[in-house]
């Protein structure tokens, strides 16, 4: 550690400088960037050695590249939070008052006791305290279950966060070789290779750069992109986005010592006492990392839960517009809450008024302590009705279903970053998909070429081509492509070479190898550091240009990109024998018609290659393509530099459609989801691929538009986008070609905002580029590519496709629909129980001045509904049948007519059985009515029958679309039948042995059989309900 002569504090102070001041500081204090590398014991070309002891010493001295997260809430904190629920507080207070009154009540036989209400007569007043204790115990159980669920949920969220962190890797140079390592592994002294689309993982100083532009808005708030370079502004900061260019960066500050880390520390988001500068501190830091330290690249996710929603501006991370399911659930919960509250208040009023009439008008006696106890009991019943009525189990059901689905979706190559995206995907009505890599294999090969006037349908040999043209192709492709792009020879015979980096460039490098030349030899002769100027590819340019110095002192510009764009900048072309020919607009049209369109019609991407020479005055001119200059050109004037080019060649690159994609698109179409292709490719290429995928058919009357035409159609005379104009385009649009990220955003926004469809569209979008961020954020669900996607796209997304495959989106639809249906199943089940329990309590209050279901019994039923049923119904596996129905859309009610039929139908059956037992049970079964006694067979039979009907109805609730076979798939879900068995066993124990707390009396085997018989009746009754035509149910 003593060997490091530059301290953490010195580097922190250095990184606080900008621009010219930073350049001067580096030069004055450290002798320049190269000398700083030496002081940090690293090589600007080979990087660190990668020795583990060296890496550990750097972490000890300079800190690790992570910020310790906020500690998770303890179980006791979660218990305290669960206790804050208002209904539970009311129950606790009521139970406490009940206990106090029970203990201060005078001895049985006292002067006041002769006026005791019926329910405390018969020698049971001594047990008055039991109900209060039972309620408190029930509250404790509910609180512990809630806290345990929250604890489990938080652990799952942290597990999800850790998975997302593990997906983030970055390119560093160690031992002269490029390695992809986790961002948490980056240390001070590392040489990082940064490129377009990267989210920078640490602070650093540029060693070498090509046209770097950085979005520093996350750090400074400035929206303009900042130009960076060795001689301009060499300072780069973690958390900022590379919008253009590439380069090499020396890492100088990581973790809490980076500029972003310092800010987070000041804000209190980083729980650390400052910079780690000692071995002891390092050890502490390592321990914290083991508990879930957050790599610097992910610090924006650290400040909030991993479930934070995109687009939210408030601290809690909620999105401005709730997800489809959230909005529907919130509305439903409010409606149920109003009804439940009204019935609870009415129940209490009726019980209280009837008792007051009994005491003062009928009995004409003074108020007694037992009357106060009765009032408290009335209040407890009312609160219990409210507890049962309000579906507080809904959030738990949603959480369980989402957490279960997210875990399973990882196996289906969907890494969910925002949980609500999972259920929103189930409502998707439209998918706007990229072409390259999503619908196609993204393994590109050059299969056709046009060189020196000859159209080659297969790859020629170097000797077949005019040497002047062939040399320019080899050099132009080798140097005018990212040096990180390369082709690795196969490890085993028969395997294909591995393509690393940009796949289009890999296809061109493969062409160089196929004609018999070695691109690496060219790169060794002209290393990346010697490239004079690079205009990197971006979605606006749709081309890349590189300037190299010529031996005669002049410059050569190589340009490659979309063929039409490159050809428009050409004024000459290499003809037969590489002879220079003028290239007029009519020649361009002829080339497009004869070469480019036939290639595109075969689904090939067409890439053009051109060059331009600058020679200084006095140097002999070889041909007319050379531009004579007296001084070095203004390289910032890009339009002037990349003009007057000479066309060298056109390449036709094949990117085959993934074999599984056509079937996946057919599934989407059958599921009522419209798939649209949005691509930057030529319109003919896009149409050809869309036909192969099945997005369009030859006989369809759908629109295939280019970005320019799309813009013309959606804008008014002033150039402003109008929704009514978009509404004329999007319903028929299936392919948008030569589109920019702005076009994609406008299309997505237009579809989401449209009110043409009654149910309104729910849109999913795929994206991989930095500029796809706005569209990904605007979409209801944004999918980023895990392989080809940039860090910026991933950060803007909701779900990352780890295999970049369209079929994984179809799986996400299936899981999303499964989540939606799981919640609907739970709702169907819970609302049936709610309806029955509330009506029984209310009717009991009116008819017998008491609730047939005691408070503690209703709390047990509520526990069955909330926790156990949500766990059972939220863990159903998806089936292919989910993709047969149409999507629900944004505005369709959460409770369908079929569900309403099931809820009301089963409620009618259960109420009929319970009221029959309540009013006629003693006559039918020959036991006492149980009126006025604390425990009785009568009320135990009612309670037990209700629970049995509830349990068997859980099987019915698994089907929400009117299916007859309710047992289908029952035994594929062990959680479901395990919970049924556990609940049934618990009910036996409660009835037979829980008389003290649950106010139950042991039942005989005959009585048990009757209870089970009534429970089984719900299955038979369910078949009858299914036979009722749903169309007769009013909407």
- Global pTM reads 0.73
Strand pairing category for 533-535 and 235-236? unpaired
Query: Where does a domain end: 593, 623, 654?
Result: 654
Q: Is residue 456 predicted with pLDDT exceeding 90?
A: yes
Half-sphere exposure of 563 (CA within 13 A, CB side): 27
The C-alpha atoms of residue 66 and residue 257 are separated, in whole angstroms, by 10
Instruction: Kindly state the average pLDDT of the residues 542-553.
Output: 91
Tens digit of pLDDT for each residue in 357-387?
Answer: 888 887 778 887 777 877 877 777 777 677 6
The CB density around residue 1, as the number of other CB atoms within 10 Å, is: 13
Best CA proximity match to 795, nearest among 323, 422, 402, 298: 298
Query: Residue 129: what pLDDT?
Result: 64
Tens digit of pLDDT for each residue in 414-437?
Answer: 888 887 788 788 889 999 998 887
Half-sphere exposure of 1015 (CA within 13 A, CB side): 22
The dihedral over CA atoms of 373, 375, 379, 384, expressed in degrees to the nearest 10, equals: 60
The C-alpha atoms of residue 321 and residue 318 are separated, in whole angstroms, by 8
Best CA proximity match to 976, nearest among 829, 858, 815: 829
Out of 32-41, 488-497, 694-703, pick the least confident.
488-497
The C-alpha atoms of residue 384 and residue 587 are separated, in whole angstroms, by 85
List Cα–Cα distances, 756 to 724, 728, 749, 761, 833, in angstroms: 9, 10, 14, 9, 39
Instruction: Kindly state the average pLDDT of the residues 846-854.
Output: 73
In this structure, what CATH number is given to the domain that contains residue 236?
2.70.150.10
10 Å CB burial of residue 622 (0-12, 13-18, 19+) is exposed
Strand-pairing partners, residue 801, are 414, 785
List Cα–Cα distances, 948 to 517, 912, 938, in angstroms: 79, 15, 15
Distance between terminal CA atoms of the chain? 75
Query: Residue 530: what pLDDT?
Result: 87
Rg (CA), the chain: 36
Strand-pairing partners, residue 652, are 448, 606
Q: Is residue 117 predicted with pLDDT exceeding 70?
A: no
Largest CA distance in the chain: 129
Tens digit of pLDDT for each residue in 306-338?
Answer: 333 344 333 333 343 556 676 777 777 777 778
Query: Residue 294: what pLDDT?
Result: 40
Tens digit of pLDDT for each residue in 201-211?
Answer: 899 999 988 88
Quote the tokens at residue 54: 């060296």
Q: Is residue 122 predicted with pLDDT exceeding 50?
A: no
The C-alpha atoms of residue 817 and residue 663 are separated, in whole angstroms, by 19
The C-alpha atoms of residue 498 and residue 150 are separated, in whole angstroms, by 45
User: Looking at per-residue confidence, does 866 or 291 come out higher?
Assistant: 866
Strand pairing category for 533-535 and 498-500? unpaired
Quote the tokens at residue 280: 């002891």
- Mean pLDDT, the chain, integer: 81
Q: Is residue 745 predicted with pLDDT exceeding 80?
A: yes
Owner of token pair 């160089």: 512
How many percent of the chain have pLDDT more than 70? 85
Strand-pairing partners, residue 446, are 653
Range of the domain at 542: 445-654
DSSP conformation letters of 275-328: ---SHHHHHHHHHHHHTT-EEGGGHHHHTS-TTPPTT--STT---SS--HHHHH
| pLDDT band at residue 65 using 50, 70 and 90 as cut-offs | confident
Quote the tokens at residue 854: 């005691």
The C-alpha atoms of residue 615 and residue 629 are separated, in whole angstroms, by 6
| pLDDT band at residue 663 using 50, 70 and 90 as cut-offs | very high
The CB density around residue 713, as the number of other CB atoms within 10 Å, is: 14
Q: Is residue 697 predicted with pLDDT exceeding 60?
A: yes
Could you tell me if residue 310 is inside a domain?
A: no
**For the chain, how are helix, strand and coil distributed in percent, rounded to 5?**
50, 15, 30
In this structure, what CATH number is given to the domain that contains residue 623?
3.40.1110.10
Query: Where does a domain end: 256, 282, 298?
Result: 298
Tens digit of pLDDT for each residue in 236-290?
Answer: 998 888 888 888 999 999 988 888 788 777 765 444 444 444 333 433 333 333 3
CB 379 within 8 A of CB 348: yes
Tens digit of pLDDT for each residue in 495-509?
Answer: 788 888 888 999 999
Half-sphere exposure of 92 (CA within 13 A, CB side): 13
Quote the tokens at residue 605: 């991407």
CB 202 within 8 A of CB 258: yes
The C-alpha atoms of residue 25 and residue 15 are separated, in whole angstroms, by 10
Collect all residues with Cβ–Cβ distance below 8 Å to 540 and sequence separation of at least 6: 740
Q: Is residue 548 predicted with pLDDT exceeding 60?
A: yes
Most confident of 123-137, 145-159, 810-824: 810-824
Tens digit of pLDDT for each residue in 75-98?
Answer: 888 888 888 876 677 667 766 766
Could you tell me if residue 1014 is inside a domain?
A: no
- 3-state class of 246 per DSSP? strand
Query: Residue 507: what pLDDT?
Result: 94
Best CA proximity match to 1003, nearest among 983, 989, 1018: 989
Tens digit of pLDDT for each residue in 184-243?
Answer: 899 999 999 998 878 888 999 999 888 888 888 777 777 678 889 888 889 999 888 888
> Does an H or E element contain 463, and which?
none
Tens digit of pLDDT for each residue in 597-623?
Answer: 999 998 899 999 999 999 998 888 777
List Cα–Cα distances, 348 to 423, 439, 704, 839, 853, in angstroms: 39, 63, 66, 13, 15
Half-sphere exposure of 742 (CA within 13 A, CB side): 8
Query: Residue 1: what pLDDT?
Result: 45
| pLDDT band at residue 445 using 50, 70 and 90 as cut-offs | very high
Strand-pairing partners, residue 939, are none
Quote the tokens at residue 581: 């020919």
Query: Residue 231: what pLDDT?
Result: 85
Query: Residue 267: what pLDDT?
Result: 63
How many percent of the chain have pLDDT more than 90? 28
- 3-state class of 608 per DSSP? strand
Q: What is the 3-state secondary structure (H, E, C) of 108-177?
A: CCCCCHHHCCHHHCCCCHHHHHHHHHHHHHHHHHHHHHHHHHHHHHHHHHHHHHHHHHHHCEEEEEECCE
- 3-state class of 1029 per DSSP? coil
Number of domains in the chain: 2
Query: Residue 574: what pLDDT?
Result: 93
Enzyme catalytic residues = 434
Supply φ then ψ for residue 123, to 5 degrees.
80, 10
Query: Where does a domain end: 638, 654, 670?
Result: 654
Could you tell me if residue 128 is inside a domain?
A: no
Query: Residue 116: what pLDDT?
Result: 44
Could you tell me if residue 827 is inside a domain?
A: no
- Write down the number of H helices and E strands in the chain: 37, 29
CB 1025 within 8 A of CB 905: yes
Best CA proximity match to 66, nearest among 290, 274, 254: 254
- 3-state class of 882 per DSSP? helix
The C-alpha atoms of residue 782 and residue 745 are separated, in whole angstroms, by 12
Could you tell me if residue 234 is inside a domain?
A: yes
List Cα–Cα distances, 934 to 94, 121, 178, 992, in angstroms: 19, 9, 79, 16
Owner of token pair 């980076």: 258
Could you tell me if residue 810 is inside a domain?
A: no
- 3-state class of 684 per DSSP? helix
| pLDDT band at residue 1035 using 50, 70 and 90 as cut-offs | low
The C-alpha atoms of residue 111 and residue 382 are separated, in whole angstroms, by 30
The C-alpha atoms of residue 630 and residue 617 are separated, in whole angstroms, by 6
The C-alpha atoms of residue 200 and residue 202 are separated, in whole angstroms, by 6
> Does an H or E element contain 484, and which?
none
User: Looking at per-residue confidence, does 22 or 769 come out higher?
Assistant: 22
User: Looking at per-residue confidence, does 463 or 329 come out higher?
Assistant: 463
Supply φ then ψ for residue 430, to 5 degrees.
-145, 140
Query: Residue 844: what pLDDT?
Result: 77
CB 526 within 8 A of CB 476: no
CB 193 within 8 A of CB 246: yes
Query: Residue 42: what pLDDT?
Result: 92
CB 701 within 8 A of CB 756: no
Quote the tokens at residue 231: 């001689």
Tens digit of pLDDT for each residue in 946-1002?
Answer: 999 989 988 888 887 778 888 877 778 888 888 888 888 988 988 888 776 777 888
Query: Residue 113: what pLDDT?
Result: 43
Owner of token pair 């590519």: 785
Could you tell me if residue 567 is inside a domain?
A: yes
The C-alpha atoms of residue 421 and residue 311 are separated, in whole angstroms, by 13
């Amino acid at each position: 550690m003593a060997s490091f002569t530059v301290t953490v504090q010195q580097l922190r102070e250095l990184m606080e400088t900008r621009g010219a001041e930073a350049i001067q500081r580096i030069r004055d204090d450290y002798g320049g960037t190269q000398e700083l590398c030496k002081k940090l014991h690293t090589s600007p070309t080979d990087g660190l050695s990668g020795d583990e002891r060296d890496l550990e010493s750097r972490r000890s001295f300079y800190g690790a590249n992570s910020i310790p997260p906020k500690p998770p809430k303890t179980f006791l904190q979660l218990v305290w939070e669960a206790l804050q629920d208002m209904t539970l507080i009311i129950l606790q207070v009521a139970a406490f008052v009940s206990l106090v009154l029970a203990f201060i009540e005078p001895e049985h036989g006292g002067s006041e006791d002769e006026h005791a209400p019926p329910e405390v007569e018969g020698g049971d007043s001594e047990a008055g305290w039991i109900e209060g204790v039972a309620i408190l115990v029930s509250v404790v159980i509910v609180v512990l279950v809630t806290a345990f669920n929250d604890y489990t949920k938080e652990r799952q969220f942290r597990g999800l966060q850790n998975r997302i962190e593990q997906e983030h890797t970055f390119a560093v140079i160690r031992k002269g070789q490029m390695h992809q390592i986790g961002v948490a592994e980056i240390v001070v002294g590392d040489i990082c290779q940064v490129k377009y689309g990267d989210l920078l993982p640490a602070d650093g100083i540029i060693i070498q750069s090509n046209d770097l532009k950085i979005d520093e808005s996350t750090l400074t708030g400035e929206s303009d992109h900042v130009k960076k370079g060795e001689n301009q502004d060499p300072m780069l900061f973690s958390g900022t986005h590379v919008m253009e260019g590439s380069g090499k960066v020396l890492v100088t500050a990581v973790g809490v010592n980076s500029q972003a880390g310092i800010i987070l520390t000041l804000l209190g988001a980083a729980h650390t006492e400052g910079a780690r500068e000692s071995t002891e501190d390092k050890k502490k830091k390592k321990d914290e990392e083991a508990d879930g330290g957050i790599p610097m690249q992910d610090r924006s996710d650290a400040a909030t839960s991993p479930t934070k929603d995109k687009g939210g501006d408030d601290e809690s991370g909620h999105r401005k517009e709730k997800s489809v399911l959230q909005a529907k659930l919130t509305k439903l919960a409010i409606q149920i809450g109003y009804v439940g509250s009204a019935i609870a208040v009415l129940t209490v009023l009726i019980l209280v008024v009837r008792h007051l009439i009994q005491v003062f008008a009928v009995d004409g006696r003074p108020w007694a302590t037992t009357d106060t106890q009765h009032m408290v009991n009335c209040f407890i019943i009312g609160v219990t009705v409210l507890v049962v009525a309000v579906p507080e189990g809904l959030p738990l059901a949603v959480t369980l279903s989402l957490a279960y689905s997210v875990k399973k979706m990882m196996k289906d190559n969907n890494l969910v970053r925002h949980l609500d995206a999972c259920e929103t995907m189930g409502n998707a009505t439209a998918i706007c998909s990229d072409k390259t890599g999503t619908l196609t294999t993204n393994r590109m090969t050059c299969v056709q070429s046009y060189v020196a006037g000859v159209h080659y349908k297969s790859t020629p040999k170097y000797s077949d081509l005019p040497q002047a043209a062939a040399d320019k192709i080899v050099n132009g492709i080798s140097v005018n492509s990212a040096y990180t792009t390369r082709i690795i020879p196969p490890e085993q015979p028969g395997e294909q070479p591995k393509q690393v980096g940009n796949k289009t460039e890999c296809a061109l490098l493969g062409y160089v190898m196929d004609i018999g030349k070695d691109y690496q030899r060219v790169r060794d002769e002209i290393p990346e550091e010697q490239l004079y100027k690079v205009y990197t590819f971006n979605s606006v340019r749709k081309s890349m240009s590189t300037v190299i110095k010529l031996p005669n002192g002049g410059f050569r510009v190589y340009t490659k990109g979309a063929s039409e764009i490159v050809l428009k900048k050409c004024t000459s072309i290499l003809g037969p024998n590489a002879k220079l020919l003028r290239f007029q607009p009519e020649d361009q049209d002829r080339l497009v018609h004869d070469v480019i369109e036939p290639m595109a019609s075969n689904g090939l991407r067409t890439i053009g290659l051109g060059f331009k020479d600058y020679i200084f005055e006095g140097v002999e001119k070889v041909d007319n393509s050379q531009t004579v200059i007296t001084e070095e050109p203004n390289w910032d004037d890009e339009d002037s530099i990349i003009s007057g080019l000479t066309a060298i060649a056109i390449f036709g690159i094949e990117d085959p459609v993934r074999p599984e994609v056509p079937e996946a698109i057919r599934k989407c179409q059958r599921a009522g989801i419209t798939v649209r292709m949005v691509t930057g490719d030529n319109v003919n290429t896009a149409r050809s691929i869309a036909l192969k995928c099945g997005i369009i058919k030859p006989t369809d009357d759908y629109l295939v538009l280019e970005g320019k035409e799309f813009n013309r159609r959606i804008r008014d005379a002033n150039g402003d986008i109008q929704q009514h104009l978009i509404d004329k385009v999007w319903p028929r649009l299936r392919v948008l070609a030569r589109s920019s990220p702005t076009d994609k955003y406008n299309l997505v926004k237009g579809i989401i905002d449209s009110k043409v469809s009654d149910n309104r569209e729910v849109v999913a979008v795929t994206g991989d580029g930095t500029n796809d961020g706005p569209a990904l954020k605007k979409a209801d669900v944004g999918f980023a590519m895990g392989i080809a996607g940039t860090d910026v796209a991933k950060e803007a997304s909701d779900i990352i496709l780890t295999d970049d495959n369209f079929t994984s989106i179809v799986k996400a639809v299936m899981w999303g629909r499964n989540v939606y249906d799981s919640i609907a199943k739970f709702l169907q089940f819970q609302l049936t129980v709610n309806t029955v329990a509330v009506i029984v309590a209310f009717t009991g209050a009116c008819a017998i001045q008491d609730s047939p279901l005691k408070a503690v019994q209703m709390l047990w039923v509520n526990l069955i509904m909330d926790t156990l049923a949500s766990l059972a119904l939220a863990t159903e596996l998806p089936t292919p049948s989910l993709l047969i129905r149409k999507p629900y859309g944004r505005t369709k009610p959460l409770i369908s007519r079929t569900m309403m039929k099931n809820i009301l139908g089963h409620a009618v059956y259960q109420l009929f059985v319970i009221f029959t037992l309540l009013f006629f049970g003693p006559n039918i079964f020959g036991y006492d009515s149980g009126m006025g006694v604390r425990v009785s067979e009568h009320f135990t039979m009612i309670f037990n029958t209700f629970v049995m009907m509830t349990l068997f109805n859980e099987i019915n609730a698994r089907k929400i679309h009117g299916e007859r076979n309710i047992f289908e798939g029952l035994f594929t879900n062990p959680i479901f039948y395990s919970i049924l068995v556990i609940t049934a066993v618990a009910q036996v124990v409660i009835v037979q042995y829980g008389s003290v707390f649950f106010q139950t009396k042991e039942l005989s085997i005959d009585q048990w059989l009757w209870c089970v018989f009534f429970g089984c009746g719900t299955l038979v009754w369910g078949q009858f309900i299914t036979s009722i035509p749903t169309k007769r149910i009013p909407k």
